[in-house]
Structure 1
Amino acid sequence: MKRRSPSASDTESASSQGERSKPSTKKPSSFYMKQMRGGLSAAGYVKHETWVLPENRSLLKQMEKQLRQPILAGSFMLEDYMSAGNNWNIDRLFSALQALDEVASKEITPTLIQGSEQSIKLEMNEFGGLPIYIAVVGEQIIVDTVLVDLESIKDVQRFNDAVLRSREMFPLSSIGIETMPNGQTVYNMFGALSSESSLTNVVTEIKTLVDNVQRASEAFESFFN
């Protein structure tokens, strides 16, 4: 801990008394743990003993944090169900996403898109309405968005080279080329995870993709018209 430099009045007082001020006694870690438990109890939380395998301690800690949020309790039950080896389908995933805090606060607007293959569209309202699309394809959940269309690239060859060298820049996300139904060619940024993944992992994938899109837009800005 950084100590405060003594002021002139402090020095004068110490001199008149003929002794130095003793440093304050360092509190043991048990003091802070007691303070934390007291605060949680005052906030209305209850302690519940749980026995788990050693390798699951970190997972239990994550669950504990989620269960301190009342609005997440319903979606947490869905996660517990998914851990039993059941795969998400698009309808159950849409229902689970609708229970998120971010949806209730209008930060995200979810829409179920009907068609030959259903998908979910998430409008990220805090990011200008950035659309994120989610599809359940067999054993995978695909989360993607359009990064830029081909016609907006100044030098396609140099841009492709930069993209291929950017693997470590965007964790959990990749960039690919796709031809849309209208014939337009675009660069997509996407992530994929198992359809058995927990809701927490799906949300993490979505938020990571949004973050990576922002970073990619800045990193490749010089290539765009």
Structure 2
Amino acid sequence: MDAVIETAWTVPAIKAALDESALVREGEMTLRVLEGADPVLLATMHEYGDLPVYLSVGGAQIVCSVLLWPVAEQADTARFNAFLLKAQRLVPLSNFAITTVGDQDVYELMGELSSKTTLQTILIELRTLAENAIDATDLRETFGTEAAA
């Protein structure tokens, strides 16, 4: 069972801890806190083509997410959404969602953790989510091939 820390993480504390951690490989990611009503950590994952992964902390959980592509770009949205739900096991530890960015709905891949989890688990989540985002793009291509047949 994963150990927990006593005090819940904050976004600035996660950034500081990752900046100092020997667990992060050199050049693996660049971290930046985006200030707003609630700060968000932007982790640019260099080993995944500079993929942006967003991390926020709220209450008892940490949410990590990757924006994928606009829903409007997806042919046969209803069928694709059903396809994603069936393909869920192919992207372990992540969930698909639709979120609104500006005035457009966008597919999102996300994972949740306890706000008292270890730094190592947070890092594993960032890496897993980045890998799953690449796999989600492959799923989209699979759907396109299957739909064209």
Q: Residue type of the partner of 2:136?
A: A
Question: How far 1:141 moved relative to its partner?
Answer: 0.2
Which residue of the partner structure matches residue 44 of structure 1? none
Question: How far 1:222 moved relative to its partner?
Answer: 4.3
**SS at the partner of 1:135?**
strand
Do the aligned partners of 2:83 and 2:143 also contact (CA within 8 Å) in 1? no
User: Within 2, Cα distance between the matches of 1:128 and 1:173?
Assistant: 19
Question: How far 1:103 moved relative to its partner?
Answer: 5.7
Deviation string, structure 1 residues 111-152 (Cα, Å, up to 9, x no partner): 011111101001111222100000001110000011221122
Name the % identity.
30
1:200 to 93, 102, 120: 120
Which residue of the partner structure matches residue 179 of structure 1? 100
Q: Structure 1: state its 5+ residue gaps.
A: 1-55, 60-78
Q: Does 1:109 align with 2:30?
A: yes
Which residue of the partner structure matches residue 27 of structure 1? none
Kindly name which structure, 1 or 2, has the bigger radius of gyration based on alpha carbons. Answer: 1
Which residue of the partner structure matches residue 135 of structure 1? 56
More strand per residue: 2
Aligned residues: 144
Do the aligned partners of 2:61 and 2:113 also contact (CA within 8 Å) in 1? yes
Kindly indicate whether structure 1 or structure 2 has the higher relative contact order, using CA contacts under 8 Å at least 6 residues apart.
2
Question: How far 1:107 moved relative to its partner?
Answer: 2.0
Q: Which runs of 4+ in 1 moved over 6 A?
A: none
Q: Does 1:165 align with 2:86?
A: yes
Q: Structure 2: state its 5+ residue gaps.
A: 145-149
User: Within 1, Cα distance between the matches of 2:103 and 2:109?
Assistant: 18
Q: Residue type of the partner of 1:106?
A: G
**SS at the partner of 1:126?**
helix
Q: Residue type of the partner of 1:211?
A: E
Do the aligned partners of 2:48 and 2:131 also contact (CA within 8 Å) in 1? no
Structure 2 CA distance for partners of 1:197 and 1:102, relative to 1, 3 Å? closer
User: Within 2, Cα distance between the matches of 1:139 and 1:214?
Assistant: 28
User: Within 1, Cα distance between the matches of 2:92 and 2:111?
Assistant: 9
**SS at the partner of 1:115?**
coil
Alignment of 1:51-66 (within 5 A): none
Q: Does 1:221 align with 2:144?
A: no
User: Within 2, Cα distance between the matches of 1:87 and 1:215?
Assistant: 31
